[in-house]
Amino acid sequence: MIPDNCKLERFFARWEFSVEHLLCASDVDGYPMPDLLALADDETRGLWEGLTLGYTETTGLPALREEIAQQYTALNPADVTVCGGGAAEALFLVANALLGPGTHAVVGWPAFEALHRVAAATGAEVTAVPLDPDAGWRLDPDAVRKALRPTTRALFLNFPHNPTGALPSRAEFEELVGIGTEAGITVVSDEVYRYLEYEPGTTLPAACDLDPRAISVGVMSKAYGLAGLRIGWLASRDEELLRTLRAIKDYTSVCASAPSEILALIALRAREQVVGRCRRIIDANLERVDEFFAEWADVFHWVRPRAGTVGFPRLLLATPVEEFVDDLARSESVLLLPGSVFDCDDGRVRFGLGRASLPEGLRRLDGYLRRTVRGRA
């Protein structure tokens, strides 16, 4: 089983470390190691200082699983499996546990590639249900219902959404999860941007708290600014499915990195400070991006995100978006992500809001547009 090439990773392999400013990153600037270690309590400091670099428990450090479980209302630590390959490994395990030839999955569209390419590689058919940009990137529950088949085994959701920053109301999210409950299928909820909502009180419940069959996927990369740890997790009350997932995991990462697990535990116990730092970076950058798109409304159509680290504006120029992105990277060392990476052909680019260098990237993009669009330096 070999999935199609991951367009996202191939694109970043080409550009990410050769440009100066990533205006399209989906994460937040990495948390500095000294700052993170300064947040350790007595127990986690002792774990860190006494660390030996051996194998860890295949399901994850017990204290880490306990801390992760506290994010949910209906779960206990036994319902959590730590993944040493981040959310990408978690989604790989889910697709292989649930799907195969003769089965079917539904996914909201556009989508992070791990939500659909691995599913297709198992031999399953995948139906994409588009989010509506004219309705704030809404995913219509009725359209999801119509996409279901007798062979449907999984409904893949992602809120807050990558790449659009969409966030449904609580009632609408509960309706989407309820579709899976009614149909007897597994809702796979990619919740990696949870806690990065812009408005107070809009954090959605976890799917695994709403439906005992549902799976919630989390990671330390996005809301915590700790992508380098490569720590993700699966949370579900479906014991049989968890056994299957863990059996497959014995052939992937086996277990997570011992240092990463302890660092993740430190961050989760200091969640308010760690997430708060990420939110401050995003909030400041969102203001700047709003001003930029107001200035360049003739060049970009901007649907303001409601949560997360990314937005998905449409380029209004006649220039093909791939050509625009390529020229910007070469001339200004500023990188945007073309929507074609998400199999979108309507000229969109992904903007990232999580990097402290965003103001300089915007300044260079502004200068590029003044030179190439308005014809002045």
Q: Are the C-beta atoms of 121 and 2 separated by less than 8 Å?
A: yes
Maximum Cα–Cα distance for the chain, whole Å? 64
pLDDT of res. 254:
95
At position 272, the amino acid (one-letter code) is E
Q: Establish whether the linkage from the previous residue to 320 is cis, with ω within 30° of 0.
A: no
Q: Is 204 exposed, middle or buried, given 0-12, 13-18 or 19+ CB atoms closer than 10 A?
A: buried
pLDDT of res. 167:
98
| Interstrand relation of 349-352 and 337-338 (parallel, antiparallel or unpaired) | antiparallel
Q: Establish whether the linkage from the previous residue to 110 is cis, with ω within 30° of 0.
A: yes
Place of tokens 């088949």: 149
Q: Within 10 A of 371 (CB to CB), how many other CB atoms are there?
A: 13
∠ CA 307-310-312, rounded to 5°: 110
Name the nearest CA neighbour of 224 among 203, 194, 201, 259. 194
At position 274, the amino acid (one-letter code) is V
Strand boundaries in 40-178, DSSP class E: 80-83, 104-109, 125-130, 152-158
pLDDT in tens, the chain (377 residues): 667 788 888 988 898 899 999 999 999 999 999 999 999 999 999 999 999 999 999 999 999 999 999 999 999 999 999 999 999 999 999 999 999 999 999 999 999 888 899 999 999 999 999 999 999 999 999 999 999 999 999 999 999 999 999 999 999 999 999 999 999 999 999 999 999 999 999 999 999 999 999 999 999 999 999 999 999 999 999 999 999 999 999 999 999 999 999 999 999 999 999 999 999 999 999 999 999 999 999 999 999 999 999 999 999 999 999 999 999 999 999 999 999 999 999 999 999 999 999 999 999 999 999 999 977 54
Task: Please enumerate in sequence order all residues whose Cβ is within 8 A of that of 82, keeping only pairs 6 or more positions apart, or say none.
Answer: 59, 60, 61, 64, 65, 68, 231, 232, 233, 256, 261
pLDDT of res. 376:
53
Domains in the chain, CATH or no CATH each: 7-32+273-368 (3.90.1150.10), 51-270 (3.40.640.10)
Backbone angles phi, psi at 286, to 5 degrees: -65, -40
Name the nearest CA neighbour of 312 among 285, 343, 350. 350
pLDDT of res. 377:
46
Cut 0.85: pTM above it: yes
In angstroms, the Cα distances linking 276 to 136, 271, 333 are 26, 8, 29
